[in-house]
Chain A
Amino acid sequence: MADLVRLSSNLLYTAFILYLIATLFFGGSIRDKRARERGVSISRWSAVAITLTIVGFVAQLGYFVLRWIAGGHAPVSNLFEFTTFFGMMLVGAFIMIYFIYKLNILGLFALPVAILIIAFASMFPRDISPLIPSLRSDWLHIHVTTVAAGQAILAISFAAGLMYLLKSVDPKVKDKRSFWLEAIMYSLIAVVGFILVTTGFALSDYKADFNWIDKNGNQTSAHYTMPALVGPHKGELLTPDRFEPLASMPALVNAKKLNTVIWTLLAGTALYWLIRLIFRKRVSLLLQPLVKKVNLDLVDEIGYRSVLIGFPVFT
């Protein structure tokens, strides 16, 4: 059994690396002028890219099946398992849409997201855990897998929608449209910021415990995994050598969650301005060359089609 678990983890790792390489090939394929001149839709670059993606997907499927056998229940029972499964479904949905429309640029949007998601998932405890009573039901297999698959297919629609906006909104015109497109870019970067700070502090194993007084005057404890910029109500830091909160929140506010939001916004903003300083242009303008060749009607249809496929799955 232990061997099975190890093999399963290695397959997941393999899938992760393959997705990474495939992304690079998709990047190459949209810059590949020769194929475009010859008028073929699948160049050698993109053939390699999609092959690597499929091999990666099969490897991850192997991870899933082996873990199922080892654990005795579908591996969708905790955050690590659910999130990796969601990443796998994202890649699966991309492969499906790819074979309908052969749109390389979609790979450049979908695969990095899947990679980020799988990396983020690995920050949660990865042990195979036994099922708590409410998860001991056939609905675990039905509900959680269809929810993940449905969301993944719908996410492809999100990627297509983003491409549509990048293409149809002119970032050089300073109007409401270009402002809000840039705001979407900022939110996406803030998500990356969230993954970076949570991963960073998880790797450095940061832990700080507090005692605090809740709304009813009872003493309870809070466990922070990031330095507490804002502390809980009448909080008392128990762990030595940890960051003392700059401010204490009223009892009504969930200080730990607020702290995560603040960290996310700080990291996202820093990252965003770093990009702006390096490239000296808006992020939407920076990404625009990627979608130069994209046909609006086509991405519109991809967006629509993925909603059509995703919706019944999700429902």
Chain B
Amino acid sequence: MNDVKCVCGHVNPQGTVLCEACGRALTEDAKKENLHDMRYEGSARRSQTYNKKFIDKVWNFFSSVKVGIWLIVITLIASALGTIFPQVMYIPQNVDPAQYYAEQYGTLGKIYYLLGFHDLYSSWWYLLLIASIGVSLVICSLDRVIPLYRALKNQRVNRVEGFLRRQRLYGKSTSETADADFDAVKKRLKEKKYTIREEDGNILAEKGRFSRWGPYVNHIGLIIFLIGGMLRFVPGMYVDEVLWLREGETKTIPGTHKEYVLENKKFTMELYDKEKDKEVYEKALERAGDVVKNFQSDVVLYKRDTTKTLGEDDKLEKVKEAEIRVNEPLKFEDFALYQVDYKLDEFKAMSFNFLKKEDESIKGELTIDLFDPKEEYDLGNGYKVELLGYYPDFKGFAENGEPQTDSSVPNNPAFLFNMISPEHPEGEKSFTAIRQTIEPLGETEYKMTFAGIETRNATALTVRKDLTLWILAVGGAIFMIGVIQGSYWNHRRIWLQRRGKDVFIAAHTNKNWHGIKRELAQVLNGTSIPEPADQQDDKKNIRNEGGATNGGSSETKQ
């Protein structure tokens, strides 16, 4: 209804700036321009045409590249802020995040936590930002690609003189030999793979139009990539957990719905050996000291019969034994277990001798499992040890004299013993830590002396499942194709027209003007048609007089 009918007869959609068919300027502004803005062919973009309804306003907001860039910048800044303090998965597991951030980093930490920076990739406003970028990408693209496609499809060979004159490359001349020249130029253009269309003896030569779709193809790729990234939040698509296993331990693998269980038989760390390994490494090993050659966990994978109730661990079915090394994960179903961390020589058990101070005679020996200490150890013959207190990670005494432990991991075990002997049936109290014995209730007749320690290694494995990878790969590939399509080829058009003896030439390319000028020079060489002038030549570009630094291509103008 509001369509614009051009004098040439073509009916353009409302908002069109340059007639799709003949190129005539349809708005007052366009008529005043020295050079036409050819980026979208003067076509009618929805965002430039409607601004009444709410939906128009939303559309116009998101169709602005400026808005899109701001969204990206804000997201980048937010991502950068998210690295100031550690993300929630890197703080100790056994603490309350709200408390932790406030305690460790003060007020800033509190704000950081409240705003959701501590778990950035899952915070609602961050996801909203990402979604907005996606929406902006789609709307920006649609707003431009549809009218552009229309305009390029409807373009006619014949263009009005005003259109030609307002192209960046333009020339007008008179020629007596136009017929022969047009034929020669046509032939050369064909050799250069131009598609030629003719109307009334005028020529439109065009090539590489498909490169104009490159940006839209790469946007499709990006959207797919974005969707793939967001799918990580869909349960079952993505698992990223850590599993710590001490030697001899068997645990359920997190993220597998309790279906799989892993046993760690042995963890080894192997170093390079100056004697055995390649001799060229000798100097480096002397300088650097120990260099690790291999981290390896020997494990057994079990499958649990999930139809049985939990706890019936005897229903484990062995799937396979495997050796996990860095870069050599154990794979099963969609899961992979990667070697990621380790701990050597963790305390497992401690042994003590029950000793009479006077003559150093040993009355008995006990071994305490640091992960499962008993309440009392009977040594026979009336000798007995009661464990009154166990502090696996002893770090000192509180003000009230109470011993403190940092964690339940036996990094620095300490014990409060009650030593019962025939002489002291009520027992004598002794506090024993590594290299430290305290007798809190006065001197004792007996003591516990350290007799030995048993250690073992622990391994940490990353449990990873990622069903989004192939989507990311597809999106990435399409993105790459789009980028190549848009940047390796140029969309070039050359208009060659005559009115009587007057010959008009105009040319447009979406980029690489240097290239099209070079091509025009070759095509027009030896004909009566002069090369078109660059009407936007930067005054600062002092033209080259030819010579060694120049590819021999631009002696075209003075």
Contact = CB atoms under 8 A, between A and B. Distances in A.
A128 B550 contact: no
Interface in B531-558: 538, 540-541, 543-544, 546-554
A304 interface: yes
B407 interface: no
A170 interface: yes
Interface in A24-58: 29-30, 32, 35-36, 39-43, 46
Interface stretch (B16-24, B281-289, B379-387): B281-289
A277 interface: no
Contacts of A172: none
A117 interface: no
B552 A41 contact: yes
Given A130-B278, A130-B291, A102 B326 contact: no
B541 A168 contact: yes
Contact of B549 (A127, A137, A293): A293
A104 B288 CA distance: 44
A315 interface: yes
A30 B538 CA distance: 25
B236 to A, nearest CB: 28
Given A41-B552, A296-B538, A70 B280 contact: yes
Interface in B280-327: 280-281, 283-285, 287-288, 291-295, 325-327
Contacts of B288: 125, 129
B280 A128 contact: yes
B487 interface: yes
Nearest to A139: B327
Contacts of A139: 327
- Count class of interface residues, chain A: 35 or more
B327 A133 contact: yes
Contacts of A134: 326-327
A5 B294 contact: no
A294 B546 CA distance: 10
Given A105-B549, A301-B514, A168 B540 contact: yes
A293 B551 contact: no
Contact of B554 (A5, A40, A129, A298): A298
Given A43-B548, A134-B326, A125 B280 contact: no
B516 to A, nearest CB: 11
A134 B280 CA distance: 20
Given A101-B551, A104-B548, A130-B277, A136 B327 contact: yes
Given A71-B280, A129-B288, A295-B554, A36 B325 contact: no
A304 B551 CA distance: 16
A29 B548 CA distance: 8
A137 B293 CA distance: 13
A246 interface: no
A40 B285 contact: no
Nearest to A297: B514
Contacts of B285: 129-130
Contacts of B514: 297-298, 300-301
Given A71-B280, A129-B284, A132-B291, A312 B480 contact: yes
Given A134-B327, A298-B554, 9 more contacts: A1-B278, A125-B288, A127-B287, A129-B285, A130-B285, A133-B293, A134-B326, A298-B514, A311-B483
28 contacts: A1-B278, A36-B547, A39-B547, A41-B552, A72-B278, A103-B549, A128-B281, A128-B283, A129-B288, A132-B292, A133-B295, A133-B325, A133-B326, A136-B326, A137-B327, A168-B541, A293-B544, A293-B548, A295-B543, A295-B551, A297-B517, A297-B554, A298-B551, A301-B514, A308-B487, A308-B488, A311-B483, A312-B480
Interface of B: 272, 277-281, 283-285, 287-288, 291-295, 325-327, 339, 480, 483-484, 487-488, 511-515, 517, 538, 540-541, 543-544, 546-554
9 closest pairs, A vs B, by CB? A129-B284, A133-B326, A36-B547, A127-B284, A297-B514, A127-B283, A293-B549, A137-B327, A296-B541
